[in-house]
Amino acid sequence: MAMSRKKVAMTLGIPEEHNLMLLQLGRLVVAHGNLEMVQIMCLKILEKLEPDEAVKKYRGTQASKIRKKICNCIDTSSLAANDKEEIDKLISKARDLSDQRNSLLHRFWGTIDGKWLTSPDEAKWEPLPNHAVIEDLTERIQALTKKINYSRMEGKILQASKSIIPSSHRASPSGKA
């Protein structure tokens, strides 16, 4: 005999009375936007693009594709293996933090019996996120954004950009440019 699930009446909405949490979630969104823009600007320097060209080319591109493109560019550079690994770790950390951010934001938000809850899939309902959890994630994203931006402006990513031959100038497998 199949068990039937009890239907729960969820009223979707925004927990307007939780002002501090909404403020923190807004800060998280802005911090994540900065992380995504810094990654686009990494491609700007690696592909030797103008800022507006990079934004036009990559705005709207999935972050996973941008991260993969950064790693592919770094792989074509003459950086030492340990330097490439250092950049790869930064980009992997960006993926992990983005996944955490997405897990926190992209879910159902609503009330059941007047109590605010969230759920990633309607199978399990959880209390609203703890303020400390949101702040910690925001701070880690901001710190990583600074590290990646430093690498882009003065560190290993800048160094890699100086040793990459633009794809339009690389020899084809037949030996022709």
Q: CB–CB of 120/21 below 8 Å?
A: no
Helix (H) or strand (E) holding 55: helix 51-58
Distance from C-alpha of 110 to C-alpha of 119, rounded to nearest angstrom: 9
Closest of 59, 63, 70, 129 to residue 95, by C-alpha? 63
pTM to 2 decimal places: 0.87
Q: CB–CB of 177/170 below 8 Å?
A: yes
Average of pLDDT values for 16-44?
97
Q: What does the pLDDT read at residue 172?
A: 44
Q: CB–CB of 76/171 below 8 Å?
A: no
Q: How confident is the model at residue 177 (pLDDT cuts 50, 70, 90)?
A: very low
Distance from C-alpha of 88 to C-alpha of 94, rounded to nearest angstrom: 10
> Could you read off the pLDDT of 116-140 as tens digits, one per residue?
999 988 788 999 999 999 999 999 9
Q: Is 96 helix (H, G, I), strand (E, B) or coil?
A: helix
